[in-house]
Amino acid sequence: MADRPLGADPAPRAFVTGWPVSHSRSPMIHGHWLQKYGLRGAYVKHPCTAEDLAGFLTDLADAGFVGGNVTIPHKEAAFALADHADDTAKRLGAANTVWLHDGALHVSNTDGYGFAQNLAESVSDWNASERLERGALVLGAGGAARAIVDCLKQQGFSTVYIANRTLAKANALAAEFGSPCTAISMEDIPDRASNVSLIVNTTSLGMEGTAQAAESPVDLSGFSEDTIVNDIVYTPLITPLLKQATKLGMTPVDGLGMLLHQAVPGFERWFGVRPEVTSELRALVVADLGDAK
């Protein structure tokens, strides 16, 4: 980068904060875009404890930041600290993207956007009316499930079944989001949800490095061949669930695109260019994940 004269505007700096953030791929994604578009700026990891979060977010400008990403476990706290939240963040009560505007802290939640963009890029008719009518099944009721349930409801799915190991959590999520969300037990899936057009795994089953790495959250054999099966777990890229879907002739969609697309709105806010999710970026992250299958 060329030297700048004294007194020139400082280059915009953005961050990812969480506890921990050492595993985050966000610096790689945003660093790639900064370089690709020839922009001045930086994106850095800023680990922050729960105790230090309020001080950090209220002094962003002093620390030279224009905004950043917030990840586990600070998404709810970041929302609570905001001066302005957009509608999505309000519905979710959680934020993953923050920025300063006229000195005020603005927040949004782009997880649902990333999820939807990934599906749209992979299957052009994922939200066609016939598919909306058949409904969707969400496996899991944790943090990631919230953004996905909200997104599916906003898209207009006629029914959004939520199935979870701990049924009470599925009940709570369905009650919070209301119609068309319905909680069901894992055992009830074959009887009640086998006609859905879309299945989304948001449980951590199948994630490498865990005791459940070889497990699939559901047996897909009773579902229609035209079912779209999306696993948001992206380590490994091809999970046991996606292997099962491929074997049965269904349409598998991996979770990496969700991670890449959720980063787009933040980058545009902080650095002024709407970046593209390209195969080049995807390959860079896949290589970093050590899973170029």
* CB 88, CB 150: distance < 8 Å: yes
* CB 152, CB 160: distance < 8 Å: yes
105/231 with CB nearer ligand NAP: 231
Binding site for ligand NAP (CB under 6 A): 140-145, 164-166, 169, 202-205, 207, 212, 232-234, 255, 258-259, 262
CB of 133 to ligand NAP, least distance (A): 26
Please name which of 110, 197, 109 lies closest in space to residue 161, comparing C-alpha atoms: 197
Q: For residue 47, say if its preceding peptide bond is cis, omega within 30 degrees of 0.
A: no
CA distance 266 to 68: 7
107/205 with CB nearer ligand NAP: 205
CB of 232 to ligand NAP, least distance (A): 4
The neighbour count for residue 229, using CB atoms within 10 Å, is: 23
110/197 with CB nearer ligand NAP: 110
CB of 290 to ligand NAP, least distance (A): 16
Output the six-digit token pair for 148.
């996905």
Output the six-digit token pair for 59.
């002094």
159/203 with CB nearer ligand NAP: 203
Q: Which of 36, 45, 75, 293 is catalytic?
A: 75
75 annotated active-site? yes
Residue carrying the six token digits 């099966």: 229
CB of 274 to ligand NAP, least distance (A): 19
* CB 227, CB 252: distance < 8 Å: no
Chain centroid, CA 201 distance in Å: 12
140/266 with CB nearer ligand NAP: 140
CA distance 30 to 128: 32
CB of 63 to ligand NAP, least distance (A): 26
CA distance 232 to 145: 10
State the catalytic residues.
Answer: 75
